[in-house]
Amino acid sequence: MDPEIWFTEKYGNNVGLTFKVKEILNTQISKYQRLDIIDTYEFGKVMLLDGLVMLTQKDEFVYHEMISAPAVMSLKNRNKALIIGGGDGGTARELTKYDFDKIIEVEIDEVVVENSKKFLDFTACGYNDKRVEIIIGDGVEFVKNTNEKFDLVIIDSTDPFGAAEGLFSGEFYSNVYNILNNDGIVVAQAENPYYNPDWFLKSRRNMQKAFGLNTLNYCAFIPTYPSGMWLFSIGYKNIDLHDYFNEELYKKNANSYKYYNSQIHKACFALPQFVLKLIK
Amino acid sequence: MDPEIWFTEKYGNNVGLTFKVKEILNTQISKYQRLDIIDTYEFGKVMLLDGLVMLTQKDEFVYHEMISAPAVMSLKNRNKALIIGGGDGGTARELTKYDFDKIIEVEIDEVVVENSKKFLDFTACGYNDKRVEIIIGDGVEFVKNTNEKFDLVIIDSTDPFGAAEGLFSGEFYSNVYNILNNDGIVVAQAENPYYNPDWFLKSRRNMQKAFGLNTLNYCAFIPTYPSGMWLFSIGYKNIDLHDYFNEELYKKNANSYKYYNSQIHKACFALPQFVLKLIK
């Protein structure tokens, strides 16, 4: 009998999600982190960074649809989009569904991009589109120095330490504000409120420093992320986020979604009472 | 150094939630199932039935508020409520917040009630209210034979096999229909759509046999239940569920909720696209 190999991601010290591994496809130490690509029985291919689940083939659709579609449906213009992080290509894949002229992705770690292209075609297919330009570099520096303006900025980062720490800071969001067009929108993954309320609050509060009252949070069910409840922070400039829903664009793309739909578009902003209390 | 003891609930064969155990407080084999009460580092007290997490002190509030509040706020009358299962007392606790005249709980396993009273005061406190009557017996038989009529029936059951199998059947729901008043509502826990879509569909379809188009589903984030996404089925007789929200009753109880609120009341009915596809 073959040995049973189980991977466990601990959420803090006292709880974790554990799942059975079919095969370890690759392990690589980059300048920034350790990357593992594993094949699993329940979730298909899984990418780990520093031992944390970044995506699984089974449920990545939730994260990637939900970090992009709610914002896209509220955009007045779709000229340029910027992705910070997102090296697996899943967020780029989602944005290529729409008629953006240009999608720039700034990923700090080329090892993530390379491994995604090699092992995770279901997300890396986002890179096949000619409108997608990958820049290997530091997102913090990029938003500080670029002269370009964007309609949409998506912060598709790891947790707020190590390489991604700067992506949760107030200064970063103030720079994001500056590179957004007047009716622009920023979305960031914002952790979970059950095990890591402080990380969530850091994301929200620092976005709020730049976007003030135009900062909201919404949520989605992601089984392989800690607690299964994932939050996103969304900031917007001189628009009312809930004032406009691009019905035509939605109808054109409705069949492509496995999670998002027009009801979820509104409902995802309803936060449980304990989360509202956290952000008061 | 003390040994580290971890409990793992497997969701199928290839994935599970694992957490660190402080102490095993009690283990008992009843006529129906094995019960364990454990104390844990992350979740406080936990009740297991046949090795499955029934509730944890940390997140039981989500389940118990969400199996009751959305229905209660849509009720025109609050005379009699019936709970099938719910031996830990948490659902009874929630219902005692409101002005029901009578709350009957039919729990098949008295060992669950006894252990809850002994170890889980945070849920068993529901039993302190004189309006709550506990009947130790089979819920399937009770709904078949009772002459009483109810405004609300809550099916707070374990998974659809063993003692709870009958609580997922079409015949059972047809009897529930018969004991509901004209403007009555039934709610049932309905499993999760990621790992057990068949169990969810069984709950929904059999409720639908009795309640037809007046059958809906809604969802809540429960970290210690499989996938973290939990579904409920709700059926209603001669009313429009979304037509009436008891604002006054909500305001009176709003401070008591940690999860439920008036936004969640509507938003919880928005289902991800893959769930809508399942139920089509």
A33 is an annotated ligand-binding site residue: yes
- Chain A residues in contact with B62 (beta carbon < 8 A): 272
Number of Cβ within a 10 Å radius of residue B201? 16
Pairing of strands B44-49, B52-56: antiparallel
Residue B28: give its domain's CATH number: 2.30.140.10
Given a contact cutoff of 8 angstroms between Cβ atoms, the answer to whether B38 and B7 are in contact is yes
Q: Give catalytic residues of A, as residue numbers.
A: 156
What phi, psi does A136 have (nearest 5°)?
A: -85, 110
Q: Do A17 and A120 reside in the same domain of the chain?
A: no
Is B238 exposed, middle or buried, given 0-12, 13-18 or 19+ CB atoms closer than 10 A? Answer: exposed
Last residue of a domain, one of A24, A40, A56: A56
How does DSSP classify residue B1? Answer: -
Q: What is the rounded distance in angstroms from the CA atom of residue B17 to the CA atom of residue B4?
A: 16
What phi, psi does B29 have (nearest 5°)?
A: -105, 115
B-contacting residues of A 16-55, CB under 8 Å? 16-20, 40-43
Overall number of domains in chain B:
2
Q: Do A71 and A159 reside in the same domain of the chain?
A: yes
Q: What is the rounded distance in angstroms from the CA atom of residue B85 to the CA atom of residue B219?
A: 20
Q: Do B91 and B142 reside in the same domain of the chain?
A: yes
Contacting residues for B250 by C-beta, under 8 A, at least 6 apart: B73, B262, B265
3-state secondary structure of A236: strand
Inter-chain residue contact A221 with B59, CB threshold 8 Å: no
Q: Do B93 and B176 reside in the same domain of the chain?
A: yes
Q: Give catalytic residues of B, as residue numbers.
A: 156
Our CA angle for B39, B41, B44, nearest 5°, is 50
Hey, what amino acid is at B133? Answer: E
Position B161 scores a pLDDT of 82
Ranges of residues in chain A with a pLDDT under 50 are none
The distance from CA A31 to its chain's CA centroid, rounded to whole angstroms, is 22
Position A227 scores a pLDDT of 98
Helices B170-179 and B197-211 meet at what angle, rounded to 10? 40
Q: Do A195 and A250 reside in the same domain of the chain?
A: yes
Chain B residue with the nearest C-alpha to that of A229: B221
A247 is an annotated ligand-binding site residue: no
Residue B195: give its domain's CATH number: 3.40.50.150
Pairing of strands A102-107, B180-189: unpaired
Position B229 scores a pLDDT of 98
Q: Do B44 and B66 reside in the same domain of the chain?
A: no
Is B247 exposed, middle or buried, given 0-12, 13-18 or 19+ CB atoms closer than 10 A? Answer: exposed
3-state secondary structure of A171: helix
Our CA angle for B146, B50, B205, nearest 5°, is 50
Pairing of strands A15-29, A102-107: unpaired
Pairing of strands B80-85, B52-56: unpaired
Residue-by-residue DSSP string for B31-42? SS-EEEEEEETT
Q: Do A37 and A120 reside in the same domain of the chain?
A: no
Asked if B242 is an interface residue toward chain A (Cβ–Cβ < 8 A), one would say no
Return the exposure string of A186-201: e unless at least 16 CB atoms fall within 10 Å of the residue's CB, then b: bbbbbbbbbbbbebbb
Q: What is the rounded distance in angstroms from the CA atom of residue B209 to the CA atom of residue B101?
A: 30
Inter-chain residue contact B221 with A221, CB threshold 8 Å: yes
User: Among candidates A73, A56, A127, which has minimal Cα distance to A96?
Assistant: A127
3-state secondary structure of A187: strand
Q: Do B27 and B115 reside in the same domain of the chain?
A: no
Position B3 scores a pLDDT of 87
Q: Do B43 and B177 reside in the same domain of the chain?
A: no
Given a contact cutoff of 8 angstroms between Cβ atoms, the answer to whether B107 and B136 are in contact is yes
Q: Which domain holds residue B150?
A: 60-279
Chain B residue with the nearest C-alpha to that of A274: B258
The CA distances from residue B101 to A157, B55, B124, B264, in Å, are 53, 27, 19, 27
Last residue of a domain, one of B35, B56, B77: B56
User: Among candidates A108, A280, A94, A93, which has minimal Cα distance to A204?
Assistant: A280
The CA distances from residue B236 to A200, A273, B92, B242, B265, in Å, are 38, 26, 20, 11, 16
- Chain A residues in contact with B42 (beta carbon < 8 A): 12, 14-15
User: Among candidates B158, B270, B262, which has minimal Cα distance to B203?
Assistant: B158
Partners of B72 in beta bridges:
none
Q: Do B111 and B46 reside in the same domain of the chain?
A: no
- Chain A residues in contact with B272 (beta carbon < 8 A): 62, 221, 258-261, 264
Given a contact cutoff of 8 angstroms between Cβ atoms, the answer to whether A79 and A95 are in contact is no
Q: What is the rounded distance in angstroms from the CA atom of residue A28 to the CA atom of residue A159?
A: 19
Asked if B60 is an interface residue toward chain A (Cβ–Cβ < 8 A), one would say no
Position B88 scores a pLDDT of 98
Q: Do A172 and A233 reside in the same domain of the chain?
A: yes
What phi, psi does B50 have (nearest 5°)?
A: 50, 40
Number of Cβ within a 10 Å radius of residue A161? 10
How does DSSP classify residue B77? Answer: -
Q: Do A73 and A152 reside in the same domain of the chain?
A: yes
Q: What is the rounded distance in angstroms from the CA atom of residue A113 to the CA atom of residue A119?
A: 10
Given a contact cutoff of 8 angstroms between Cβ atoms, the answer to whether B136 and B129 are in contact is no
Ranges of residues in chain B with a pLDDT under 50 are none
Q: What is the rounded distance in angstroms from the CA atom of residue B184 to the CA atom of residue B239?
A: 8
3-state secondary structure of A73: coil
Position B241 scores a pLDDT of 93
Inter-chain residue contact B268 with A267, CB threshold 8 Å: yes
Q: What is the rounded distance in angstroms from the CA atom of residue A179 to the CA atom of residue B128?
A: 60
